[in-house]
């Protein structure tokens, strides 16, 4: 199980996604933060919908590691994790930029991205690599079955 490269990619994706819950995604440069920036930073864990979707993606990726004998289900769960991560950030975007409040350009003027903004990208890349190597394993097994 651990000797497969996709297991390493899945473990790293779980690590990056778990770190994302604790690191700020956006920091506020304005002297008087308001709204979602009461403390001057935005965390994924501040919005329950995003946190639930991210937790589901982490759990799905972790479960995927132990399903190494069922590669088709593994591939489907990796795709589900990718979709959950994207849904998490779409939900966070709508929470962060509510329609009808202040304009996004005024809000964005006092913001700067933090480390947490890059972590989902690394997680998505690692999940895509895991999918690629699971698919390679599937093709190897199919070619070995043809030889029998």
Model pLDDT for residues 60-98, shown as the tens digit of each residue? 999 999 988 898 999 999 999 999 999 998 888 777 766
Sign of CA dihedral 127, 130, 132, 134: negative
Segment among 48-52, 99-103, 129-133 with least mean pLDDT: 99-103
Question: CA 6, CA 132: separation in Å to the nearest integer?
Answer: 8
Write down the pLDDT at residue 69.
Answer: 86
Scanning the structure block, which residue is given the tokens 């990619």?
A: 9
Cβ partners under 8 Å of residue 102, min gap 6: none
Contact 119, 26 (CB under 8 A): no
For a pLDDT cut of 70, what percent of the chain falls above it?
79
Q: Which of 30-39, 49-58, 100-109, 135-144 has the highest mean pLDDT?
A: 49-58
Q: How many CB atoms are closer than 10 A to CB 12?
A: 18
Rounded Cα distance, 114 and 112, in Å = 6
pTM listed for this prediction: 0.83
CA dihedral for 12, 18, 22, 28, sign (positive or negative): positive
Distance CA 81, CA 53 (A): 9
SS3 27: strand
112 vs 75, higher pLDDT? 75
> Is the distance from CB of 17 to CB of 54 less than 8 angstroms?
yes
Residue 31 has pLDDT above 70, yes or no: no
Q: Which tokens go with 8?
A: 């390493």
User: How far out from the chain centre does Cα 134 lie?
Assistant: 19
Confidence class for position 110, pLDDT limits 50, 70, 90: low
> Domain spanning 5-147 has what CATH number?
1.20.140
SS3 125: helix
């Amino acid at each position: 199980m651990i000797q497969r490269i996709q297991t390493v990619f899945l473990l790293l994706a779980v690590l990056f996604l778990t770190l994302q819950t604790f690191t700020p995604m956006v920091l506020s440069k304005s002297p008087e933060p308001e709204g979602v920036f009461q403390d001057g930073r935005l965390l994924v864990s501040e919005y329950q919908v995003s946190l639930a979707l991210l937790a589901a993606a982490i759990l799905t990726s972790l479960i995927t590691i132990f399903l190494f004998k069922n590669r088709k289900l593994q591939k489907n769960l990796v795709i589900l994790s990718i979709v959950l991560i994207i849904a998490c950030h779409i939900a966070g975007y709508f929470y962060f930029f509510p329609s009808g409040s202040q304009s996004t350009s005024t809000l964005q003027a006092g913001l700067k991205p933090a480390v947490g903004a890059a972590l989902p990208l690394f997680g998505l890349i690692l999940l895509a690599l895991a999918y690629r190597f699971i698919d390679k394993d599937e093709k190897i097994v199919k070619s070995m079955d043809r030889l029998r």
